[in-house]
Amino acid sequence: MHMCGDIDNIIRKGEKMRLRRVHNMLIASALVCSMVVTPVFAEPSSAREEEAQLKEQKEAAQDELDDLQTELNDLISKANQLELDLIAKGEEIIQAEEDLKVAEAKKDEQYEAMKLRIKYMYESSSGTATMEKVMTSGDISSILSQAEYSQQVHEYDRDQLDEYANTVKEIEDLQDTLETERANLEELEAENEVQQKKLNETINDKKDDISNLDEMIQEAAQRAEAEEEAARQAEAARQAAAQAAQNTGGGSTTTNTGGSSSAPSYSVSTGNTVVDRAYGKMGCPYVWGATGPSTFDCSGFVGYCLTGSYSRIGTTYTFLGWPRVSNPQPGDVCTSATHCGIYIGNGQMIHAPHTGDVVKIGPVQSGMVYVRYPY
């Protein structure tokens, strides 16, 4: 009985030892699997997640910026149409003023002719010369003919005077209407300019946001690279410790290329000629639609300075499409979507500002760009 109990004890101890060996083997196998099978980047690092989120924010901000830029382009196009409408309205007003002068001259001529006839008919001191002439005409037929003639003369004078008075009134009414329409267009243009200014501010803010996001994305990418590099080094150390094959990696090189465009070469002689023309029209009144020689609107003034011709070569919208320059020289054009002038150096320009003002020197306005005449 004692021997059987010893045998049982020996069997139980052996079983326990076998179980411990199996348990230790399982633990070792699990450790080896964790070292070899587990990938380096099982889940994204926190920096990579932050980078991805920032890129999504940047993409959304860029979409907003694109929408704002589209809205701004629409406003610029609208401003160009308003400018064209104002130019046309100014030309109509100029023509109406010329027509008014002609009508008034005709009215004065008619009035002088009527006075001469009245003087001739009533030069008798008694004031009855016309009546006596009628009554002494002879038979009744002659009397009636003479009376009818005198009446016709009076009616002709009145009709002519009324006709020219009506013509003058119509032209004056037309001029008032055109002035009102021009004032309304100028108000719309001012509102458009305010909207453009607000949109430009919003666009600049959005660009700043995108720029900040770019910096944050770059910082997050650098942190992610550092984390991933640390993970790679740790994995290499574990593999070396486990006598695994050494891990190798590669790199990539990105080449960024860009292009540049150059504005037409600058000519000192041409630039001085343009500036001289601008100085030569100092003090000329601003008139919508005018291209000289004694009145100008802003784009009409710039066109004259560039070409020496009293004709329009384009609007501010046209000028915005010309080659831009980063180092403006005298004779270049300062322009925005709503105004333009001739650059004369030191941040100053000569321009035709607005209705009620004259061609004069002033500072280059905020938001203007510098372009060069490409022809």
Residue numbers annotated as active site: 298, 339, 351
**Is the Cβ–Cβ distance between 324 and 371 less than 8 Å?**
yes
Q: 């919003």: which residue's tokens?
A: 202
The amino acid occupying position 261 is S
Alpha helices in 122-137 (DSSP H): 129-135
Return d(Cα 324, Cα 349) in angstroms, integer: 16
**Could you tell me which residues come within 8 angstroms of residue 40 by beta carbon, excluding any fewer than 6 positions away?**
228, 231, 232, 235
Q: Which residue type does 183 have?
A: A
Instruction: Report how far apart, in Å, the C-alpha atoms of 303 and of each of 300, 313, 329, 351 are.
Output: 5, 6, 17, 11
Q: Which helix (H) or strand (E) holds 175?
A: helix 140-241
Find the radius of gyration of the CA atoms of the chain: 46
Grouping H, G, I as helix, E, B as strand and the rest as coil, residue 85 is helix
Instruction: Name the residue among 310, 360, 234, 243 with its Cα closest to residue 300.
Output: 310
Q: Report phi then psi at 191, rounded to 5.
A: -65, -40
SS3 369: strand
357, 297 in Cβ contact below 8 A? no
CB 168 within 8 A of CB 107: yes
Structure tokens at 372: 């060069």
Which residue, 325, 63, 37, 298, is CA-closest to 306? 298
